[in-house]
Structure 1
Amino acid sequence: MPAPQHVGARPVLVIGGPPTTNGDMHVGHVAGPYVAADVHVRYLRAAGREVLFASGGDDSQTYVVTSAARQGTTPGALTTKSWLQIKRTFEAIGVDLDGFAPTDDGYRSTVYDYVNRLYDKGMFRKRTVRLPYSTRTNTFLVEGFVGGDCPTCLADSRGGICESCGHPIDFDALIDPWSILDPDDPVTYREAEILVFPLEEYRERLIAFHESKATTWRPHVVSLMRELLARPLPDFPITYPVDWGMAAPFAETPGQTLNAWLEGMPASMYCHAHARRQRGIEPPANDDAWRAEHDAELVFFVGFDNLFIWALVHVAELIAHEGRYVLPDTILCNEFYELENEKFSTSKGHVIWARDLVAEVPRDIVRFYLNLTAPEHARTNFSRAGLDKVVGERLVGPWNELAANLAKLTAEVGGDTQPLPVSPRARSNAAAILRRFSLCFELPSFSLSRAADLVVQNVERLRAHATRALAANLDRDALRAVLGELFLQVRALVSAASPILIDLAASAARAGDFEPDMRPGALDLTHTTAFAVPGLDLRTALS
Structure 2
Amino acid sequence: MRPPRPAEDDRPVLVLGPNPTPNGGMHLGHIAGPYLGGDVYARYQRARGRKVVFSTGTDDSQTFVVASARRLGVEPEQLCRDSTELIREALTAIGISFDGFGPFDQTYQDTVLDYFRALHQAGKFRLRTVKMPYLERTGEFLVEGLIEGECPVCLATSRGGLCETCCHPNNFDDLLDPHSTIDPRDIPVVRETTILVLPMEEYREQLTAYHEQWSSYWRPHLVQMVRDVLSRPLQDLPITYPLAWGMPAPFPETPGQVLNAWLELIPAGMYTSSYAAAQLGRDTTPGQLWLPEENMRIVHFLGFDNAYYFALAHMALLMAHGQKYIRPEWVLTNEFYELESEKFSTSKRHVLSVQELLLEVPRDPVRLYLALTAPEYQRTTFTRTGLDKVTRERLVEPWNRLAETIGKATANAAGEAPALPVSAQGRACAATMLARFDFHYEVPNYSLNRCADTILTQIARLGRLAAALDGRGLDEQPEAWGDLILQVRALLALSAPILIDLAAAARQAGGFDGVLEPGAFDVAQVAPFTPPLLSLTAADAAAHG
Post-superposition shift, 1:391? 1.2
- SS of match in other structure, 1:300: strand
Counterpart of 1:420 in structure 2 is 420
Task: Give the length in aligned residue pairs.
Answer: 538
Post-superposition shift, 1:509? 1.8
What is the CA–CA distance in structure 2 between the aligned matches of 1:509 and 1:526, rounded to whole Å?
Answer: 21
What is the CA–CA distance in structure 1 between the aligned matches of 2:322 and 2:470, rounded to whole Å?
Answer: 66
Contact in 2 for aligned 1:131/1:171 (Cα 8 Å): yes
Counterpart of 1:493 in structure 2 is 491
Counterpart of 1:480 in structure 2 is 478
What is the CA–CA distance in structure 2 between the aligned matches of 1:78 and 1:214, rounded to whole Å?
Answer: 38
What is the CA–CA distance in structure 2 between the aligned matches of 1:435 and 1:478, rounded to whole Å?
Answer: 31
Moved more, 488-497 or 178-187: 178-187
What is the CA–CA distance in structure 2 between the aligned matches of 1:389 and 1:477, rounded to whole Å?
Answer: 37
Post-superposition shift, 1:416? 3.6
Contact in 2 for aligned 1:21/1:82 (Cα 8 Å): yes
Counterpart of 1:535 in structure 2 is 533
Post-superposition shift, 1:235? 0.5
Structure 1 unpaired stretches of 5+ = none
Counterpart of 1:517 in structure 2 is 515
Contact in 2 for aligned 1:22/1:67 (Cα 8 Å): yes
Counterpart of 1:219 in structure 2 is 220
What is the CA–CA distance in structure 1 between the aligned matches of 2:32 and 2:147, rounded to whole Å?
Answer: 27
- SS of match in other structure, 2:210: helix
Change (3 A) 1:267 1:526: same
Q: Are 1:230 and 2:231 counterparts?
A: yes
Q: Are 1:366 and 2:372 counterparts?
A: no
Scaled by the length of structure 1, the TM-score of the pair is 0.97
- SS of match in other structure, 2:359: helix
Counterpart mapping for 1:369-388 below 5 A: 369-388=369-388
Q: Are 1:121 and 2:146 counterparts?
A: no
Counterpart of 1:259 in structure 2 is 260
1:411-430 superposed Cα distances (whole Å, 9 cap, x missing partner)? 34336432111111111111
Change (3 A) 1:241 1:415: farther
Counterpart of 2:101 in structure 1 is 100
Contact in 1 for aligned 2:150/2:158 (Cα 8 Å): yes
Contact in 2 for aligned 1:5/1:520 (Cα 8 Å): no
- SS of match in other structure, 1:331: strand
Post-superposition shift, 1:298? 0.8
Q: Which amino acid aligns with 2:385?
A: A
Counterpart mapping for 1:5-24 below 5 A: 9-24=10-25
What is the CA–CA distance in structure 1 between the aligned matches of 2:25 and 2:506, rounded to whole Å?
Answer: 32
What is the CA–CA distance in structure 2 between the aligned matches of 1:227 and 1:148, rounded to whole Å?
Answer: 21
Contact in 2 for aligned 1:220/1:377 (Cα 8 Å): yes
Contact in 1 for aligned 2:94/2:367 (Cα 8 Å): yes
Q: Are 1:183 and 2:184 counterparts?
A: yes
- SS of match in other structure, 1:262: helix
Scaled by the length of structure 2, the TM-score of the pair is 0.96
1:300-347 superposed Cα distances (whole Å, 9 cap, x missing partner)? 100001010000011111111110000110111001100000000001
Contact in 2 for aligned 1:12/1:299 (Cα 8 Å): yes
- SS of match in other structure, 1:53: strand
Change (3 A) 1:264 1:64: same
1:100-155 superposed Cα distances (whole Å, 9 cap, x missing partner)? 00110110100011010111111111001110110000100001100111111111
What is the CA–CA distance in structure 1 between the aligned matches of 2:8 and 2:457, rounded to whole Å?
Answer: 30
Counterpart of 1:85 in structure 2 is 86
- SS of match in other structure, 1:18: coil
Structure 2 unpaired stretches of 5+ = none
Counterpart of 2:282 in structure 1 is 281
What is the CA–CA distance in structure 2 between the aligned matches of 1:487 and 1:414, rounded to whole Å?
Answer: 18
Identity of aligned residues (%): 51
Q: Are 1:526 and 2:534 counterparts?
A: no
Q: Which amino acid aligns with 1:24?
A: G
- SS of match in other structure, 1:215: helix
Moved more, 128-137 or 477-486: 477-486
Post-superposition shift, 1:295? 2.2
Post-superposition shift, 1:220? 1.1
What is the CA–CA distance in structure 1 between the aligned matches of 2:103 and 2:283, rounded to whole Å?
Answer: 17
1:333-365 superposed Cα distances (whole Å, 9 cap, x missing partner)? 001100000000001000001122123211111
